Amino acid sequence: MNNMGLWKLLNRILRYVMPYRWLVVTTLLLTLLGSILAQVNALVLDRAVDAINVVNQQPQLSWKSASRILLVISAVLLGKELLAAVVNFFRRYYGERMRILVSRDLSLQVVKHILTFKMAFFTTSGNEAGRLQSRIDKGVTSTSKAVNSFFIDILPLFTSAVLALILMFAANFYVGLVALCIVPIYFYVTYIQAERMRAGRKGIFDGQQAVSQSILNIIESIPVIKSFNREEIEHERQKYVQDSLTNLQLSTRKKSYFFTGLKGFLEQIGTVLVIILTAYLVLIDYPGMTIGKIMYHVMLFANVSAPIRQLHRIYDDLNDALIYSEELFGLLEGTEDVEQTGDYHPEKVTGHFEVKNVDFTYPNGVKALHDVSMVIEPGKITALVGMSGAGKSTVVNLLDKFYHPDSGTICFDGVPIDKWNTQWLREHVGLVMQKNHIFDGSIEENILYGNPKATHEDVLRAAKQAFLYDQVMELPEGFNSSALRLSGGQQQRVAIARLFIKDPAVIILDEPTASLDAIATEQIKASLDAIKQGRTVIIISHNIGQIVDADQLYVLEQGRVVQSGKPMEVYQQGGRYKEIFDASARSMNADKIAEVLDN
């Protein structure tokens, strides 16, 4: 174990334990009391055996002395057990309480902190949802376990062992010495055990993750597996993952049992040595050594070795914490990923964007925009057109401050967006994306996400504007139905209702009708026409019907603006836009449709 790391870990943990310092102090005092109580049995037995011996040596058995001895033994032992039960209850409860509270604080703090991180953090590889979650989880669990080890486990282990050793030394120096010599051997074996088993433990953790990931994959892709009849293959794959985990588990267990046996054997050797030595001392009439002292030392030695038996568990916990807490504290203390914000937050927002010579590269190195310039005016519809991957969504990401340009400037209402308060800017930008995130919750809760202060009536109105109301009312639970059960198109309308309730100055629609049928598209178009009055609308769409309505058009190709202007003018220029437009019309079979309509 790395001592520097341990010291650093203790320091970091201390900050989270400080709020519960009284809990720590109380637990430690109880621990001390428990350790003292643990020695009572040995003391009682020592006295009892000697007292019984004295009674025994008299020619006539004195019932009075005998019953007095038995009464005192029972009273002391029972009283001690009762007290120990109460002390242990509170010691365990307070210790556990502290672990749970610290664990909660760590989880809350890490969630609070990563919520402030910029988008780039979440799209960096290694930070995908599942992986990030399991790293946080492992970090929190292992760190709070370390809290327990530091403050609850290590101390009783040492106090009890040290107290027992002191009593042994006080009774007889040589017996104390023998017990003391066993301790370092024990520590050494524990150390070897932990080191030998470390790789196995890490492997088992990874293996368990692989198994659950693979089960998750199967459940998620059930329709594909079934339609291609790939059950057998999936089963084989699962068997492979399970088998390698099983082998590792078995070999690790084997090692662990070997060490448990070795330590048990060492402990017995210690006990035998103590018995031989004390018996010898009694036989040679060594001053202070009586038959009672044999029992006394044997019991005390058990108090020395028993806590040390748990040493390897604590060692493992601390090792885990050293490995996994690094990551957790990286997240907790990291500032480089925190989103930047300015302080400009005017009362009135018009919704005018000006993008000037912007270059942009994603964190993974993909250069998505080259020298892009555009003006997006309030009260007008601006459409971004281009093939898939041209950079349209990237422009939107930059306007909403999800990412920052490499070079160039973006101004909102004439002020560079870096200077804007990020939350205030987003308060005035409404985003409807291709895949709108629906949360686990009711339809009403999902719509309210657009404005938590809105009333139930506002929700109903927004649902009507988004042509969602009638469909929701047909569901048995109406607006209390789970939003996750809605169809793709209905979920899209929840997102649009959210926009109505948010009522922002700027509306950005990134293929809002991509997953809707024709009737729904027309209805949505009508409601969007209503909402866009007096606002800035930016629309990305493959639907030429929506593009021709735009006041201004920017055609993107491989991250560059290649054409711009009014739709009609741009079409007449020819070029990329005409190609896309004509291909769209052909794919819709526009000639035939016109024929049908004419007839």
Place of tokens 């099983």: 246
Instruction: Kindly state the smallest distance separating residue 398's Cβ from ligand ADP, in Å.
Output: 10
Task: Report which of 348, 344, 395 is spatially closest to residue 368, judged by C-alpha positions.
Answer: 395
C-beta closer to ligand ADP: residue 314 or 556 = 556
Decide: is 388 part of the binding site for ligand ADP (CB under 6 A).
yes
Rounded to the nearest 10 degrees, how much is the dihedral formed by the CA atoms of 96, 100, 103, 104? -170
Instruction: Kindly state the smallest distance separating residue 331's Cβ from ligand ADP, in Å.
Output: 20
SS3 442: strand
Strand spans (E) along 505-557 = 506-510, 536-540, 552-557
C-beta closer to ligand ADP: residue 364 or 599 = 364
Instruction: Kindly state the smallest distance separating residue 359's Cβ from ligand ADP, in Å.
Output: 13
C-beta closer to ligand ADP: residue 394 or 491 = 394
Decide: is 159 part of the binding site for ligand ADP (CB under 6 A).
no
Decide: is 362 part of the binding site for ligand ADP (CB under 6 A).
yes
From the list 128-136, 227-235, 294-302, 360-368, the region that binds ligand ADP by CB under 6 A is 360-368
Decide: is 191 part of the binding site for ligand ADP (CB under 6 A).
no
Cα(527)–Cα(536) distance, integer angstroms: 15
The correct pick among 314, 368, 398, 462 for binding ligand ADP (CB under 6 A) is 368
Q: Count residues contacting ligand ADP (CB under 6 A)?
A: 13
C-beta closer to ligand ADP: residue 160 or 382 = 382
Instruction: Kindly state the smallest distance separating residue 575's Cβ from ligand ADP, in Å.
Output: 17
C-beta closer to ligand ADP: residue 153 or 557 = 557
Decide: is 382 part of the binding site for ligand ADP (CB under 6 A).
no
Give the type of residue at 321: A
Cα(450)–Cα(430) distance, integer angstroms: 9
Cα(357)–Cα(432) distance, integer angstroms: 26
Residue 551 per-residue DSSP state: S
| Residue pair 169/42 in contact by the 8 Å Cβ criterion | no
Give the type of residue at 516: L
Instruction: Kindly state the smallest distance separating residue 123's Cβ from ligand ADP, in Å.
Output: 4
Decide: is 392 part of the binding site for ligand ADP (CB under 6 A).
yes
Instruction: Kindly state the smallest distance separating residue 419's Cβ from ligand ADP, in Å.
Output: 25
The HSE-up count of residue 57 (CA atoms within 13 Å, CB side) is: 6
Decide: is 125 part of the binding site for ligand ADP (CB under 6 A).
no
| Residue pair 385/547 in contact by the 8 Å Cβ criterion | yes
C-beta closer to ligand ADP: residue 331 or 372 = 372
Sign of CA dihedral 124, 129, 130, 132: positive
C-beta closer to ligand ADP: residue 286 or 362 = 362
C-beta closer to ligand ADP: residue 153 or 510 = 510
HEC per residue, 52-120? HHHHHHCCCCCHHHHHHHHHHHHHHHHHHHHHHHHHHHHHHHHHHHHHHHHHHHHHHHHHHHHCCECHH
Instruction: Kindly state the smallest distance separating residue 428's Cβ from ligand ADP, in Å.
Output: 22
HEC per residue, 351-381? CCEEEEEEEEECCCCCEEEEEEEEEECCCCE
Sign of CA dihedral 453, 458, 464, 470: positive
Site for ligand ADP in 64-123 (CB under 6 A): 123
C-beta closer to ligand ADP: residue 145 or 392 = 392
From the list 32-40, 216-224, 295-303, 389-397, the region that binds ligand ADP by CB under 6 A is 389-397
Cα(360)–Cα(371) distance, integer angstroms: 9
Cα(114)–Cα(123) distance, integer angstroms: 13
Enter the tokens of residue 319: 């090792």
The correct pick among 56, 229, 364, 599 for binding ligand ADP (CB under 6 A) is 364
C-beta closer to ligand ADP: residue 390 or 561 = 390
Cα(32)–Cα(38) distance, integer angstroms: 10
Decide: is 366 part of the binding site for ligand ADP (CB under 6 A).
yes
Instruction: Kindly state the smallest distance separating residue 594's Cβ from ligand ADP, in Å.
Output: 30
Strand order across the 552-557 sheet: 429-432, 506-510, 536-540, 381-385, 552-557, 560-565
Instruction: Kindly state the smallest distance separating residue 565's Cβ from ligand ADP, in Å.
Output: 19
Decide: is 386 part of the binding site for ligand ADP (CB under 6 A).
yes
- Residue 259: left if φ>0, alpha if ψ -120 to 50, beta else—which one? alpha
Decide: is 539 part of the binding site for ligand ADP (CB under 6 A).
no
The correct pick among 156, 207, 391, 504 for binding ligand ADP (CB under 6 A) is 391
Cα(327)–Cα(138) distance, integer angstroms: 10
Decide: is 34 part of the binding site for ligand ADP (CB under 6 A).
no
C-beta closer to ligand ADP: residue 159 or 394 = 394
The correct pick among 31, 39, 305, 394 for binding ligand ADP (CB under 6 A) is 394
Residues that bind ligand ADP (CB under 6 A): 123, 362, 364, 366, 368, 386, 388-394
